[in-house]
């Protein structure tokens, strides 16, 4: 190859390489210029990041508000379900008890020998317990509980006076004097009532109280098996609720307060 052709070939290669380099430079240069222009144009500083707690991050006032609304709605719904369940349980309880068939008129004798008729107690709330004075343990425990209930309710200024009654199911041994002395051991507010077998039987039948005297021992002593329940009666003489051995004085007093409030509210509304 002649020197001319060699020089010509080298020139061509140099031109090609120069063309590729300048094309790359033309592309890279405007990009760099545009980037610098965005960062430094008009001498504006870089934007500062916002401090936390002002709308930055997942926790915001809006999110907290939505959470509070949803939480409150859920609690209200749970309370509504609980109330509906309690009302359904109460209705079922009253249905099983035969509410309309419990309670009624009676005529008994107090500790002074005075005849006391059930009509005399109209207008008062009554808490009635049936038992006998020779009971070794159950009746004393229940009457102490009843006295505790009365003490709790008497301290409440918004509560009417509840009249506690003790009705004997052992008329043969529980004379008016015996019953009166027995009741004073528990509370001065506890009114004891007894009577003849017929009078006591009528009162027990009205409240569906079971009682049966057991066999006598060598000392002619015996135990009377009977229903262990306290009965709550409203001022109209209607049966409202009952409380067994498993209920505490605090639970009973709370239940009575609820019943009194419902009765007062319904009466005011009517």
Q: Which letter does DSSP use for residue 121 in this model? A: G
Count of residues for the chain?
Answer: 270
251 φ, ψ to 5°? -65, -40
161 φ, ψ to 5°? -70, 125
Nearest to 256 by CA among 152, 143, 167, 166: 152
Taking the alpha carbons at both ends of the chain, their separation in whole angstroms is: 127
Pairing mode, strands 224-226 and 211-213: antiparallel
127 C-beta neighbours (distance < 10 Å), count: 23
> Contact 259/240 with Cβ under 8 angstroms?
yes
226 is in an annotated binding site: yes
From CA 127, how far away is CA 60, in angstroms rounded?
Answer: 56
Rg (alpha carbons) of the chain, rounded to whole number: 45
135 is in an annotated binding site: yes
From CA 206, how far away is CA 132, in angstroms rounded?
Answer: 18
Query: Which residues are annotated binding-site positions?
Result: 135, 139, 226
Query: Which residues are annotated binding-site positions for Cu cation?
Result: 135, 139, 226
């Amino acid at each position: 190859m002649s020197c001319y052709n060699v020089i010509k070939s080298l020139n061509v290669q140099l031109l090609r390489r120069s063309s590729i380099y300048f094309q790359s430079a033309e592309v890279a240069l405007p990009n760099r210029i545009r980037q610098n222009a965005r960062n430094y144009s008009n001498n504006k500083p870089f934007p500062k990041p916002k401090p936390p707690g002002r709308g930055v991050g997942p926790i915001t006032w809006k999110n907290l508000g939505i959470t509070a609304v949803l939480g409150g709605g859920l609690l209200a719904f749970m309370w509504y379900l609980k109330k509906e369940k309690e009302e359904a349980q109460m209705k079922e309880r009253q249905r099983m008890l035969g509410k309309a068939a419990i309670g009624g008129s009676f005529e008994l004798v107090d500790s002074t020998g005075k005849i006391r008729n059930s009509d005399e107690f109209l207008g008062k709330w009554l808490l009635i317990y049936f038992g006998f004075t020779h009971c070794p343990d159950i009746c004393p425990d229940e009457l102490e509980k009843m006295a505790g209930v009365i003490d709790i309710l008497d301290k409440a200024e918004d509560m009417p006076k509840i009249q506690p009654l003790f009705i004997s199911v052992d008329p043969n041994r529980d004379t008016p004097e015996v019953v009166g002395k027995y009741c004073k051991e528990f509370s001065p507010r506890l009114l004891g009532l007894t009577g003849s077998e017929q009078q006591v039987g009528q009162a027990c039948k009205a409240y569906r109280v079971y009682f049966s005297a057991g066999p006598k021992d060598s000392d002619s002593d015996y135990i009377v098996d009977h229903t262990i329940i306290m009965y709550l009666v409203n001022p109209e003489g209607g049966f409202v609720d009952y409380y067994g051995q498993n209920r505490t004085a605090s639970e009973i007093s709370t239940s009575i307060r609820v019943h009194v409030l419902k009765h007062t509210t319904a009466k005011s509304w009517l």
